[in-house]
């Protein structure tokens, strides 16, 4: 049964090509009550411009629970034709993140360990966590091309759908960017989690398109996603989600990085000394 959901979009992951949907993006957000919702699948690039919402924008959309493939607790199958965008993204004028924070930080998990516990208990597959310390963002080389089966499927489906075959699939980022961090939990042994944020991949390609070498593009991504977003003057939180095909595998799907309160900033600077 379809229901009409009002969601504040907070997460968009980097697209992957898909035979059935052209491109798959994981979009997630929160209801007004702070409940996490995942909209999946959405074929983002094939949506007309008027339906391309941005992060921190409220939207309304009709969606229903999945019956098949994606049985994750927070997942809904959206009917993209019913999407209505409600106004502009919530601003951060003069560094004021308070309205975003009020909405986003309603249900912060105390640690990754706690999220995993909730997953075992009730199937939780989305959440937000405040890392105790972010140590690094490492770039590990990975495949330079999508799996051949992805691309073959994509080509095939475009012939069937009468969509232009010439449209390029999303570009494959040849590095996995992984956060190295730990949480404030005695059970924590540290984490190394891939960051799948759409903006990270697009920043990488923006630098390459400007003529940068790969090392320079990597340096730019680290400057933005580590030095700036996780700097001592920030209070970074990670949106986390599980991977559909590997439910025990949690990844970072977005970063929320409001300015740090003064005390927190001092604590973080001290932590940085060690």
Residues that bind Zn ion in the complex, under the rule CB under 5 A = 111-112, 183, 188
Comparison of 180 and 212: residue with beta carbon closer to Zn ion? 180
Which pair of structure tokens corresponds to residue 209?
């398109």
- Closest distance to Zn ion from the beta carbon of 194 (Å): 15
Nearest-CB residue to Zn ion? 188
- Closest distance to Zn ion from the beta carbon of 109 (Å): 10
Comparison of 56 and 250: residue with beta carbon closer to Zn ion? 250
Task: Report CA-CA distances (Å) from 146 to 79, 86, 257.
Answer: 27, 35, 31
Pairing between strand 36-42 and 75-86?
parallel
Q: Is the peptide bond before 148 cis (omega within 30 degrees of 0)?
A: no
Residue 69, φ and ψ in degrees, nearest 5: -60, -45
Comparison of 59 and 112: residue with beta carbon closer to Zn ion? 112
Comparison of 198 and 238: residue with beta carbon closer to Zn ion? 238
Which residues neighbour 194 within 8 Å (Cβ) at sequence distance 6 or greater? 176, 177, 178, 251, 252
- Closest distance to Zn ion from the beta carbon of 182 (Å): 5
Instruction: Compute the residue count for the chain.
Output: 274
Q: Is the Cβ–Cβ distance between 146 and 220 less than 8 Å? A: no
- Closest distance to Zn ion from the beta carbon of 42 (Å): 30
- Closest distance to Zn ion from the beta carbon of 129 (Å): 8
Comparison of 18 and 111: residue with beta carbon closer to Zn ion? 111
């Amino acid at each position: 049964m379809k229901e009409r959901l009002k969601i504040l979009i907070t997460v968009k992951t980097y697209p992957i090509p898909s035979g059935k949907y052209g491109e798959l993006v994981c979009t997630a957000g929160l209801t007004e009550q702070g409940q996490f919702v995942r909209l999946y699948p959405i074929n983002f690039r094939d949506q007309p411009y008027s339906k391309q919402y941005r992060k921190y924008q409220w939207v309304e959309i009709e969606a229903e629970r999945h019956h098949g493939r994606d049985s994750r607790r927070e997942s809904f199958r959206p009917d993209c034709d019913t999407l209505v965008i409600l106004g502009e993204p919530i601003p951060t004028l003069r560094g004021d993140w308070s309205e975003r924070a009020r909405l986003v930080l309603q249900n912060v998990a105390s640690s990754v360990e706690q999220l995993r516990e909730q997953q075992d208990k009730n199937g939780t597959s989305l959440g937000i966590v405040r890392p105790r310390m972010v140590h690094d963002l490492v770039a590990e080389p990975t495949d330079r091309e999508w799996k051949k089966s992805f691309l073959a499927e994509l080509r095939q489906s475009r012939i069937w759908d009468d969509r232009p075959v010439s449209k390029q699939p999303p570009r494959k980022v040849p590095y996995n960017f992984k956060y190295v961090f730990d949480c404030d939990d005695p059970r924590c042994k540290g984490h190394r989690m891939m960051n799948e944020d759409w903006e990270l991949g697009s920043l990488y390609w923006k630098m390459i398109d400007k003529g940068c070498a790969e090392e320079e593009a990597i340096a730019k991504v680290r400057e933005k996603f580590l030095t700036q977003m996780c700097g001592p003057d920030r209070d970074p939180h990670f949106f986390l989600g599980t991977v559909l095909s590997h439910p025990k595998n949690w990844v970072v799907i977005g970063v929320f990085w409001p300015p740090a309160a003064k005390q927190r900033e001092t604590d973080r600077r001290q932590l940085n000394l060690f």
